[in-house]
A and B are shown apart, each in its own frame.
Chain A
Amino acid sequence: MAGVLLSRTEKVFIIDGVKDEYRSDGRSTIDYRPMELETNVVSHASGSARLRLANTDILVGIKTEIDVPKPDKPALGKIDFFVDCSANATPEFEGRGGEQLANSISNMMQRAYQSPQAFDLKQLCIFEGKQCWKLYVDILILECGGNLCDAVSLAVKAALFNTKIPFVKAALMDGGNIDLQLSDDPYDSKLLDVGSAPLLVTLCKIGNKCVVDPTAEEEKCSSVSLIVGVTGNRKYYSDDDTEELPAFQPKCSAISMHGPGSITTTTLRNAINQGIIAAVCLDEALGKTVVRERRDIEKFKRHSYGFLK
Chain B
Amino acid sequence: MEGRPRALLERGLCSAVDAQWLMMMMMMMEGRDCLKSYDEVYSGLFDEKGHRKDGREMKEARAMYARGNFVSQAKGSSYIEMNKTKVVCSVFAPREISHQNEFSTVGQLFCEVKFAPFSCHLQRQPHVPDAEEKALSVALRKALEPTVCCHLFANFQIDIFVYILENDGACLAAAITAAGLALANGAVPMYDIITASSIAIIGDKMFIDPTEREEHLALSSPETKQNHGVITMSRMHGLKQIADFRQIGSLDVDCILKATDILEEECNKIVPKIQMILVRYINNGIIQQKKLAEAAKEREAALKIKMKEWSSSIIKISD
Within 8 Å of chain B (Cβ to Cβ): is A24? no
**Given contacts A103-B138, A115-B249, A176-B18, A264 and B25 within 8 Å (CB-CB):** no
Within 8 Å of chain A (Cβ to Cβ): is B135? yes
Structural contact, A255 and B245, CB atoms closer than 8 A: yes
Structural contact, B256 and A252, CB atoms closer than 8 A: yes
User: B32: which A residues are within 8 A, CB to CB?
Assistant: 72
Tell me the A170-202 residues at the B interface (CB within 8 Å): 175-176
User: A175: which B residues are within 8 A, CB to CB?
Assistant: 15
Distance in angstroms between the alpha carbons of A257 and B139 in the assembled complex: 9
A283 to chain B, nearest CB (A): 15
**Given contacts A103-B134, A251-B250, A254-B248, A262 and B25 within 8 Å (CB-CB):** no
Tell me the B29-79 residues at the A interface (CB within 8 Å): 29, 32, 34
Partner pick for B246 among A251, A255, A263, A272, CB 8 A cutoff: A255
Structural contact, A111 and B250, CB atoms closer than 8 A: no
User: B264: which A residues are within 8 A, CB to CB?
Assistant: 265
Quick one: closest A residue to B228, CB to CB?
A115
Within 8 Å of chain B (Cβ to Cβ): is A302? no
Tell me the A258-275 residues at the B interface (CB within 8 Å): 258, 260-265, 268-269, 272-273
Per-position binary interface string of chain A over residues 20-49, scored 1 when its CB falls under 8 Å from any chain B CB and 0 otherwise: 000000000000000000000000000000
Distance in angstroms between the alpha carbons of A114 and B227 in the assembled complex: 13
Distance in angstroms between the alpha carbons of A224 and B265 in the assembled complex: 23
Which 9 pairs from chain A and chain B are nearest by CB?
A262-B146, A115-B250, A72-B34, A262-B241, A116-B221, A255-B247, A117-B250, A260-B145, A262-B243
A-B residue pairs in contact (CB < 8 Å), sample of 11 = A114-B248, A115-B250, A175-B15, A176-B17, A249-B252, A252-B247, A255-B245, A255-B247, A255-B256, A263-B241, A264-B241
Quick one: closest B residue to A75, CB to CB?
B221
Structural contact, A107 and B138, CB atoms closer than 8 A: yes
Structural contact, B142 and A252, CB atoms closer than 8 A: no
Structural contact, A253 and B249, CB atoms closer than 8 A: yes
Partner pick for A72 among B29, B138, B222, B245, CB 8 A cutoff: B29
Structural contact, B146 and A261, CB atoms closer than 8 A: yes
Q: 17 more A-B contacts (CB under 8 A) besides A72-B34, A253-B250, A268-B245?
A: A71-B34, A115-B228, A115-B249, A116-B222, A117-B250, A176-B15, A176-B18, A231-B250, A252-B229, A252-B252, A255-B256, A256-B247, A257-B245, A262-B146, A265-B264, A268-B242, A272-B257
Per-position binary interface string of chain B over residues 64-108, scored 1 when its CB falls under 8 Å from any chain A CB and 0 otherwise: 000000000000000000000000000000000000000000000
Per-position binary interface string of chain A over residues 99-139, scored 1 when its CB falls under 8 Å from any chain B CB and 0 otherwise: 00001100100010011111000000000000000000000
Within 8 Å of chain A (Cβ to Cβ): is B127? no
User: B251: which A residues are within 8 A, CB to CB?
Assistant: 251-252
User: A62: which B residues are within 8 A, CB to CB?
Assistant: none
B108 to chain A, nearest CB (A): 10
Tell me the B214-246 residues at the A interface (CB within 8 Å): 219-222, 225, 227-229, 231, 236, 239-246
Structural contact, B135 and A107, CB atoms closer than 8 A: yes
**Given contacts A265-B242, A272-B256, A276-B253, A111 and B221 within 8 Å (CB-CB):** no
Distance in angstroms between the alpha carbons of A183 and B248 in the assembled complex: 37
User: A264: which B residues are within 8 A, CB to CB?
Assistant: 240-242
Distance in angstroms between the alpha carbons of A251 and B224 in the assembled complex: 14
User: A265: which B residues are within 8 A, CB to CB?
Assistant: 240, 242, 260, 264
Instruction: Please tell me the number of chain B residues within 8 Å of chain A, measured between CB atoms.
Output: 45
Tell me the A45-78 residues at the B interface (CB within 8 Å): 71-73, 76
Within 8 Å of chain B (Cβ to Cβ): is A144? no
Structural contact, A226 and B245, CB atoms closer than 8 A: yes
Q: Which of B147, B244, B245 has the most CB of A within 10 A?
A: B245
**Given contacts A71-B34, A258-B142, A265-B240, A118 and B250 within 8 Å (CB-CB):** yes
Distance in angstroms between the alpha carbons of A65 and B250 in the assembled complex: 27
Quick one: closest A residue to B150, CB to CB?
A260
Distance in angstroms between the alpha carbons of A154 and B246 in the assembled complex: 21
User: B227: which A residues are within 8 A, CB to CB?
Assistant: 251
User: B228: which A residues are within 8 A, CB to CB?
Assistant: 115
Distance in angstroms between the alpha carbons of A116 and B225 in the assembled complex: 9
B265 to chain A, nearest CB (A): 11
B12 to chain A, nearest CB (A): 12
Structural contact, B239 and A262, CB atoms closer than 8 A: yes
Distance in angstroms between the alpha carbons of A269 and B25 in the assembled complex: 44
User: B220: which A residues are within 8 A, CB to CB?
Assistant: 73
User: A73: which B residues are within 8 A, CB to CB?
Assistant: 34, 220
Partner pick for A104 among B138, B240, B245, B247, CB 8 A cutoff: B138
